[in-house]
Amino acid sequence: MLSGKRALVFAADERLAESVARHLGRLGAQVWVSGLDTEAVEALAEKVNADGGEAHPATVDPTDPHHVREYVAAVAAKGPVDVCFNGFELPAHSSGVGVPYRDLDPAVLTEALGEVIGAQFLTAREAARVMVPAGRGSIITVASTNGSSGRPHTGALGAVAGALEALARSMATEYGPSGVRVNHVRATRLSTGPMYYENALGRPVTLDEVAGTVAWLSSDVSGGVTGQVIEVSGGEHGLSEAVAARGPRRERHVELDLP
């Protein structure tokens, strides 16, 4: 499915990116895994290689423009870059989750937007820089379902997720004529504990299921798909949860004077 493809996986020291890297490797892609935790990235490369894949580890800060550009250029100098995925995650403890917006420090919101959007934008832009001349490539961004669910008390998570979806769509329009596809994966909260929200499957979505979707978007099988937000949530009904969280509804009666 991905034989001969060369893939960049940023923030590979995060859980989802690790699963993505292993999926891509099993499907035949050569994977360049990078992150800030050198030991974790090197351990991941060993796992990919043990699975029969081919992985090349590197220590890269996805929020550093110069570092990202130099790294992508170095990989591209050895051959085409076909896939770019960034699994950079925003820690819940630093995103204001659980704090009502009336009490949220504005700095939490602006810093989170700058850090996550900055990292996703940088890696996507630098990948596109080397993909456009080749006339092909697939860029995949990822965030939670908070960008569309309307859940309360999500701090910066909803704003970040919504912004990333918009970024992916705009990049897809800009790079589409050059043969470069850009899509966004809207992933549910990945939990091994009891679900406290509804979904159609009645169970949590797994890391491997999200990673499998990324692998599909990385392949030529999805060649006609760009500018899309692909939700992997098991059929989550986030809005109903958000409404339920408000408590008992107050009855309202509105008279309409219709002709």
Could you read off the pLDDT of 124-150 as tens digits, one per residue? 999 999 999 999 999 999 987 765 556
pLDDT tier for residue 13 given thresholds of 50, 70 and 90: confident
Q: How many CB atoms lie within 10 A of CB 246?
A: 9
Where do the structural domains in the chain lie, given as residue ranges?
6-244
What percent of the chain has pLDDT above 90?
60
pLDDT tier for residue 205 given thresholds of 50, 70 and 90: confident
Residue-level pLDDT at 123: 98
Pick the CATH number of 6-244 from 3.40.190.80, 3.40.50.880, 3.30.479.30, 3.40.50.720: 3.40.50.720
Average pLDDT of the chain is 85
Region 171-181: what's the mean pLDDT? 98
Compute φ and ψ for 33, nearest 5 degrees.
-100, 135
pLDDT at 256 over 50: no
| Higher local confidence (pLDDT), 65 or 99 | 65
What percent of the chain has pLDDT above 70?
80
> In this structure, are residues 1 and 27 in contact, taking their beta carbons and an 8 Å threshold?
yes
| Higher local confidence (pLDDT), 115 or 193 | 115
Number of residues that make up the chain: 259
Residue-level pLDDT at 236: 77
User: Considering only 4-13, 166-175, 199-208, 218-227, which range has the smallest mean pLDDT?
Assistant: 199-208
Q: Which of 211, 209, 200 is nearest to 235 (CA)?
A: 200
Q: Which residue has the tokens 């008992």?
A: 248
> In this structure, are residues 182 and 188 in contact, taking their beta carbons and an 8 Å threshold?
no
**What does each C-alpha distance from 88 to 99, 109, 149 come to in angstroms?**
22, 17, 21
Residues in contact with 38: Cβ distance below 8 Å, sequence separation at least 6, in sequence order: 57, 59
The whole model's pTM is what? 0.86
pLDDT tier for residue 94 given thresholds of 50, 70 and 90: low
| Higher local confidence (pLDDT), 102 or 21 | 21
